């Protein structure tokens, strides 16, 4: 069939699903267990709880669970999907992709015609997967079917100061035209460079090698560079429209970030305010920039750990942070850094924080950072279609139970968390292996590992759904209708 010669309309995210583990450790209890000063993890880093997986779960089971949730809760069928992308840094096989494992779910539909494969670079892989999915829908290769981008990881660190910044989870994004979250065309700022801030050279271990302080500097430098590119492109659009305004954070309604820990996100908002201040030709020194003139001519590169600058701009951006960013930190605070899904957990948290009517038409910015490093700053517009059953209403309805799902988790003690970590460490890449964790502790509808045979082949089973077919404590999703732009 001949491809259309125009771009499909309003390409973006139609539906979103998240999976996070059914168990967590409390960060305040972990402070006591680790013997660090009280408040270091909870106040200093801004974390409350950390989700973690037993040996019953791996990245493939996480992605199986989230993909099946997306398909079931949106009444999709697997033959409606023509591209499937997976972004992950939890590599359990150096050749076979997670995507091919997910193809098991497509078998009964007979659909083996599914493009896309895995993408890896630290926490950025999910964004690369999403960009690939969006680009496919806007390309001559598109055949009219949906694309799905999945981001999934198990984030674990060796004992020490980084361990409290772990987490785990997976997000699935249904991508196509007529989306509820339309990605803004031409507004991407990207910054990539070579740096050893966080990497995983030891293939026999789940743990990364981390230079924590360097990783923070690299994150902030990437943010500066991506935002400046984004800002210039957004300004060019405004200039073309001749509206005479200067682009600033005021032009963004909500700001989501990759969140290694929430405090860094708060500092990132301050960093963006600093960028606006330094880049603006005529900043209003008697208005929103009152008292900041002493910082007017500093070099951004010199300020990553400058306490005076940080303090001044944390104060200057506090309102921005409270209104535009904090609502998007619920999952980051409650589950931790999920790596690739972290940013999209932020988007979900924001969408779950308000009624659809308050978000309609808003611009949401997203900053994605993956160590090594790869980063992008881009934005999407929330649809204004508030008709009953509209894609936006269905999307917001489908995640309205996020807090209930978080509250339904089981708290394990730090010694229990520690023994699970030790078990994962001891049995990592062991074959044959029979996992010991209790599958009954998982949420309904969760895929889990049943065995690894002597040829390292992994087998999975799924915990039963509720008797009424529900996969968690409450459901709100409706069905996604076939896109009007579908050609196949
Ligand atoms: N009460 C309140 N605040 C406290 C307390 C306390 N009792 N104790 C410490 N703090 C504050 C510190 O002052 C510090 O604040 P600051 O960031 O404003 O300076 C903060 O808590 C953290 O304390 P540090 O001593 O700086 O923490 P440490 O160096 O031990 O570890 C780190 C933090 C580097 C983030 C570590 O957890 C790590 O390496 N994590 C993994 C790497 C990471 O996440 N990097 C971010 C980008 S890359 C990525 O996404 C993986």
pLDDT of residue 470: 60
Q: How far is the CA of 42 from the centre of ligand 1 (A)?
A: 10
Tokens representing residue 156 in the block: 């674990």
Ligand 1 pocket test, candidate residues 31, 35, 45, 368, most atoms within 8 A of CB: 45
Mean pLDDT over 13-41 rounds to 98
**Of 38-52, 169-183, 199-213, 473-487, where does mean pLDDT reach its minimum?**
473-487
Q: What mean pLDDT value characterizes the chain? A: 94
Mean pLDDT over 210-221 rounds to 98
pLDDT of residue 38: 98
pLDDT of residue 7: 84
Tokens representing residue 423 in the block: 């078990």
Q: How far is the CA of 44 from the centre of ligand 1 (A)?
A: 7
**Of 159-168, 246-255, 261-270, 469-478, where does mean pLDDT reach its minimum?**
469-478
pLDDT in tens, 183-211: 999 999 999 999 999 999 999 999 999 99
pLDDT in tens, 68-91: 999 999 999 999 999 999 999 999
Check pLDDT > 90 for residue 62. Answer: yes
Catalytic residue among 31, 63, 115, 123: 123
pLDDT of residue 483: 40
Q: Are strands 146-155 and 167-176 parallel, antiparallel or unpaired?
A: antiparallel
Check pLDDT > 80 for residue 270. Answer: yes
Mean pLDDT over 283-298 rounds to 91
**Of 226-240, 441-455, 463-477, where does mean pLDDT reach its minimum?**
463-477
pLDDT of residue 469: 58
* CA–CA distance, 403 with 349 (Å, rounded to integer): 9
pLDDT of residue 1: 47
Closest ligand 1 atom to 123 CA: 50
Check pLDDT > 80 for residue 159. Answer: yes
Mean pLDDT over 98-108 rounds to 98
Mean pLDDT over 304-323 rounds to 97
Per the model's pLDDT, the better-predicted residue between 475 and 450 turns out to be 450
pLDDT of residue 473: 42
Ligand 1 pocket test, candidate residues 30, 35, 40, most atoms within 8 A of CB: 40
Check pLDDT > 60 for residue 2. Answer: no
Is 89 marked active-site? yes
Nearest CA to ligand 1 atom 48: 215
* CA–CA distance, 317 with 255 (Å, rounded to integer): 12
Mean pLDDT over 117-142 rounds to 98
pLDDT of residue 284: 86
Nearest CA to ligand 1 atom 38: 162
Query: How confident is residue 26, by pLDDT bands cut at 50, 70 and 90?
Result: very high
Closest ligand 1 atom to 157 CA: 41
Instruction: List residues near ligand 1 (CB under 6 A).
Output: 37-40, 43-45, 123, 161-162, 165, 198, 210, 212-213, 215-216, 219, 260, 263-264, 337, 371
Dump the DSSP string for 13-67: EEEEEEE--SEEEEHHHHHHHHTPPTTIIIIIS---EEE---TT--HHHHHHHHH
What are the domain boundaries of the chain? 12-462
* CA–CA distance, 199 with 211 (Å, rounded to integer): 9
pLDDT in tens, 377-416: 999 999 999 999 999 999 999 999 999 999 999 999 999 9
Check pLDDT > 60 for residue 58. Answer: yes
Closest ligand 1 atom to 213 CA: 34
Tokens representing residue 215 in the block: 């990783």
Q: How far is the CA of 374 from the centre of ligand 1 (A)?
A: 22
Is 206 marked active-site? no
Percent of the chain with pLDDT over 70: 94
Catalytic residue among 31, 57, 89, 184: 89
pLDDT of residue 474: 37
> Could you tell me which residues come within 8 angstroms of residue 204 by beta carbon, excluding any fewer than 6 positions away?
428, 429
Cα Rg, the chain, nearest whole Å: 22
pLDDT in tens, 330-380: 999 999 999 999 999 999 999 999 999 999 999 999 999 999 999 999 999
Is 251 marked active-site? no
Considering the domain delimited by 12-462, tell me its CATH architecture.
Answer: 3-Layer(aba) Sandwich (3.40)
């Amino acid at each position: 069939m001949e491809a259309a010669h125009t771009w499909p309309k309003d390409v973006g995210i139609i539906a979103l699903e998240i999976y996070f583990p059914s168990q967590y450790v409390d960060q305040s209890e972990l402070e006591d267990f680790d013997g660090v000063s009280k408040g270091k993890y909870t106040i200093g880093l801004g974390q409350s709880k950390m989700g973690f997986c037993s040996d019953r779960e791996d990245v493939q089971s996480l992605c199986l669970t989230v993909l099946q949730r997306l398909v079931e809760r949106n009444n999709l069928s697997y033959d409606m999907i023509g591209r499937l992308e997976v972004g992950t840094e939890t590599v359990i096989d150096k050749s076979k992709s997670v995507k091919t494992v997910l193809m098991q779910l497509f078998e009964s539909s007979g659909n083996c015609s599914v493009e896309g494969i895995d993408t890896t670079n630290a926490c950025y892989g999910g964004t690369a997967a999403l960009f690939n999915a969006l680009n496919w829908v806007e390309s001559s290769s598109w055949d009219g079917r949906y694309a799905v981008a999945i981001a999934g990881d198990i984030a674990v660190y060796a004992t020490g100061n980084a361990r409290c910044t772990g987490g785990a989870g997976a997000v699935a994004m249904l991508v196509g035209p007529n989306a509820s979250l339309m990605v803004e065309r031409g507004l991407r700022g990207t910054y990539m460079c070579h740096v050893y801030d966080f990497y995983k050279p030891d293939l026999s271990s789940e743990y990364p090698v981390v230079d924590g302080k360097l990783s923070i500097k690299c994150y902030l430098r990437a943010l500066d560079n991506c935002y400046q590119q984004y800002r210039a492109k957004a300004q060019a659009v405004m200039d073309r429209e001749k509206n005479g305004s200067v682009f600033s954070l005021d032009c963004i309604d909500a700001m989501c970030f990759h969140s290694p820990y929430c405090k860094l996100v708060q500092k990132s908002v301050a960093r963006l305010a600093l960028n606006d201040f330094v880049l603006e030709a005529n900043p209003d020194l008697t208005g929103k920039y009152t008292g900041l003139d002493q910082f007017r001519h500093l070099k951004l590169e010199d300020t990553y750990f400058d306490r005076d600058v940080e303090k001044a701009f944390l104060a200057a951006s506090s309102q921005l942070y409270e209104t535009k960013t904090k609502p998007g930190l619920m999952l980051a605070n409650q589950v931790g850094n999920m790596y690739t899904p972290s940013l999209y957990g932020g988007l979900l948290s924001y969408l779950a924080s308000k009624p659809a009517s308050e978000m309609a038409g808003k611009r949401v910015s997203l900053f994605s950072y993956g160590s090594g490093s790869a980063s992008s700053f881009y934005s999407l517009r929330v649809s204004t279609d508030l008709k009953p059953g509209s894609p936006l209403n269905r999307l917001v309805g489908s995640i309205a139970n996020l807090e209930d799902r978080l509250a339904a988790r089981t708290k394990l003690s730090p010694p229990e968390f520690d023994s699970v970590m030790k078990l994962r460490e001891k049995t990592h890449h062991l074959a044959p292996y029979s996992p010991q964790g209790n599958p009954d502790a998982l949420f309904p509808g969760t895929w889990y590992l049943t065995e690894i045979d002597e040829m390292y082949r992994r087998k999975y089973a799924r915990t039963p759904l509720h008797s009424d077919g529900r996969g968690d404590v409450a459901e709100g999703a409706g069905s996604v209708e076939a896109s009007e732009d579908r050609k196949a």
